[in-house]
Amino acid sequence: DAGVIQSPRHEVTEMGQEVTLRCKPISGHNSLFWYRQTMMRGLELLIYFNNNVPIDDSGMPEDRFSAKMPNASFSTLKIQPSEPRDSAVYFCASRDQTGASNEQYFGPGTRLTVT
Amino acid sequence: AQSVTQLDSQVPVFEEAPVELRCNYSSSVSVYLFWYVQYPNQGLQLLLKYLSGSTLVESINGFEAEFNKSQTSFHLRKPSVHISDTAEYFCAVSGAGSYQLTFGKGTKLSVIP
């Protein structure tokens, strides 16, 4: 299994530009999570999907952030317009909800730098 | 709601010495507990987990953690560390049946040759 796949691995953009981060969860996993990691705030859950439906988006910081999951094998996190304070590492994680535990499998992350 | 406290943000230790990374949690319900490891420029990888049963759980690379319900702790230990153990370690808690994982702030383990 290839694990959770994220692209791009690195993104550098200018303030005001639109940024789209992509995630392919592990095949067969029905839950998907987007996290943001910063030095100041650590790991924060942004949004949680179950069976492609957003269940909890209370962690999405502002309306500039949006996430979609059009099918079981693909999700996007979009920031429009981007700001320097959005600079962080963004992780996608997936989980098999039918499993015995709440173990989540993380992708390698996208390091976003907004200048 | 759950919370996790990792008491040490950085832990330097000499190679082949023992190490303990501390984790305390709070929860009003039964919990699952996890340790994840993050190597530089990589995502988080599950190191070990406690769901139920034996309170001592082990990983394949020599780490172990013990669930202590009375002290609400899940400390991570290794009797002899290697240079390759240098990484950041995250403790996480989940309420049984909950989708949420609550992470601690992380502990950076630096193994000194």
Residue ranges, chain B, pLDDT below 50: none
pLDDT at A115 over 90: yes
Separation CA A14–CA A115 (nearest Å): 5
Reduced to 3 states (helix: H, G, I; strand: E, B; else coil), residue A22 is strand
Handedness of CA B56, B70, B50, B63 (dihedral sign): negative
Q: What is the DSSP string of A57-99?
A: -TT--STTEEEEEEETTEEEEEESS--GGG-EEEEEEEE-TTS
pLDDT digits (tens, 9 = 90+) for A54-70: 999 999 988 999 999 99
Phi-psi region of B41 (alpha: psi -120 to 50; beta: other; left: phi over 0): left
Q: Are B61 and B33 contacting, i.e. CB atoms less than 8 angstroms apart?
A: no
Is some CB atom of chain B closer than 8 A to the CB atom of A88?
A: no
Cross-chain CB nearest to A101 (options B41, B49, B103): B49
Separation CA A42–CA A16 (nearest Å): 25
- Give the chain A residue whose CA is nearest to the CA of B93: A102
pLDDT digits (tens, 9 = 90+) for A1-53: 679 999 999 999 999 999 999 999 999 999 999 999 998 888 999 999 999 99
Alpha-carbon distance A44 to nearest alpha carbon in chain B (angstroms): 8
Structure confidence at residue B52 (pLDDT): 82
- Compute the average pLDDT of residues A76-97: 95
Alpha-carbon distance B7 to nearest alpha carbon in chain A (angstroms): 14
Separation CA A98–CA B99 (nearest Å): 11
Structure confidence at residue B110 (pLDDT): 97
Read off φ and ψ for residue B33, nearest 5 degrees. -125, 145
Alpha-carbon distance A83 to nearest alpha carbon in chain B (angstroms): 22
Structure confidence at residue A1 (pLDDT): 65
pLDDT digits (tens, 9 = 90+) for B72-100: 999 999 999 999 999 999 999 988 778 88
Q: Which residues in chain A touch residue B41, judged by CB atoms under 8 angstroms apart?
A: 108, 111
Cβ separation of A91 and B43 shorter than 8 Å?
A: yes
pLDDT at A96 over 70: yes
Alpha-carbon distance B68 to nearest alpha carbon in chain A (angstroms): 19
Is some CB atom of chain B closer than 8 A to the CB atom of A101?
A: yes
Q: Which residues in chain B touch residue A100, judged by CB atoms under 8 angstroms apart?
A: 51
Lookup: tokens for B25: 């949690």
Is some CB atom of chain A closer than 8 A to the CB atom of B42?
A: yes
- Give the chain B residue whose CA is nearest to the CA of A101: B51
